[in-house]
Chain A
């Protein structure tokens, strides 16, 4: 039998060797992995405005260069809840090295107080055709859900949305992402009423009323996730409200 000293030594050496090898491997793959993640996030944003990129554009099939090409036409801003623009230096101060809106980690921001958060805002196109892409993040049934909402220059008509989730049930809650028909419903809906007051969009259990521009159909068996989407949209789009009043409305 082995002595305690031997056991201890064995464990320490084994752990050290494995840890060293993994750290080395991590260092080698890190740059590419981070690049892949950024591309992935950029694709999610492009998905929200896919209908405006051209006919039959399949964002998920895009090559890295195409993603970068399309994304270079998007202006990246960051705002806070008071409607003030946040510059690159401030973004870096918050711990995002790149200093761009795409670098902002919404999962981290969600843990801060609402007043301290910074929100990325992406702008595509010019003048009347401007599209604003807002970032939303909330809770589904099991874990976080998030997405991008693209609105026209009136800050009301939705151009498109893309959702993602961490751990919703496949076939039920995960349909917000897996079933293209769900995000598609949002296109053309309005987040403001005739008086241009903010009302958001409701994901309605049992189906939306026909012709109601503030409702979309829910998903059978995924009421909690759908309610999560409703809550997320209602709360998170509002974060951009002050910025809209100050900079866009006039």
Chain B
């Protein structure tokens, strides 16, 4: 009896397959169960780092990394973790991974590290990571947890990049500033593709300073939620 149970567990554990269920683990958080627009988690950093695309991209990669491996390690240890201290154990794992990200940034790109400053450290308190560990990784095998972490990290990153794209374009008139392939789209200088100083059509245009402020991200997230809900049937509140 006990033997078959162990065999069953082993069978489940070793299953590194990539079927329909696994694909759903990644695709679900991108739309139907998006951590930002549906679960409304991780808003703090979504407001703070999205004024430019570059820091948003780095932040997204960092969260994908932390979310993936925190899920993986928590899931590996899930049967050993004492229930009474499971949250602290999860925090130790997350904090360790975030510190790895911090070291990596200092090593590879100090300027971006300075730009993101305190927000890298704040990934530790990002509700998305901890939420996934509690809700998924504690109850599923490492492979599935890894995919779930990846999916949620990507879902978070996708929204971050959409917000950053809009904010940078309308706030600064540029795209990808600071990456070396900076596109100067619209502004009052000959450097820009559309020079508002001598354009017949865009003479009235000025960069919107509200877009640079964190508050703009709140509006954009609101509008994104609205758009998503109006076309995604699963999210329509039937009550």
Interface residues of A (CB under 8 A from B): 1-2, 6-7, 10-11, 14-15, 18, 21-22, 25-26, 29, 32-33, 36-37, 39-40, 60-61, 166-167, 169-172
Contacts and interface: CB of A to CB of B under 8 A. Distances in A.
A37 B209 contact: no
A6 B100 contact: no
B83 A33 contact: no
B89 A14 contact: yes
B45 interface: no
Interface stretch (B1-9, B33-41, B107-115, B156-164): B107-115
Given A18-B93, A170-B213, A25 B85 contact: no
Given A10-B81, A22-B96, A29-B103, A171 B212 contact: yes
Interface in B34-91: 51, 77, 80-85, 88-89
A44 B119 CA distance: 22
B209 A171 contact: yes
B212 A167 contact: no
Interface majority SS (helix, strand, loop, mixed), chain A: helix
**B contacts with A: majority SS:** helix
Contact of B110 (A18, A26, A36, A167): A36
Interface in B138-192: 171, 178, 180
Contacts of A166: 117
A200 B27 CA distance: 59
Contacts, number: 69
A11 B87 CA distance: 12
B92 to A, nearest CB: 6
Contact of A26 (B88, B92, B103, B209): B103
Given A6-B82, A37-B110, A39-B110, A25 B214 contact: no
B195 interface: no
Contact of A11 (B89, B180, B213): B89
B118 interface: yes
B107 A11 contact: no
A26 B107 CA distance: 10
A18 B106 contact: no
A88 to B, nearest CB: 26
Given A11-B89, A33-B106, A170-B212, 14 more contacts: A7-B82, A7-B85, A10-B81, A10-B85, A15-B92, A21-B96, A25-B103, A33-B110, A40-B111, A61-B180, A166-B117, A167-B118, A170-B213, A170-B214
B125 interface: no
Contact of A33 (B93, B107, B180, B213): B107
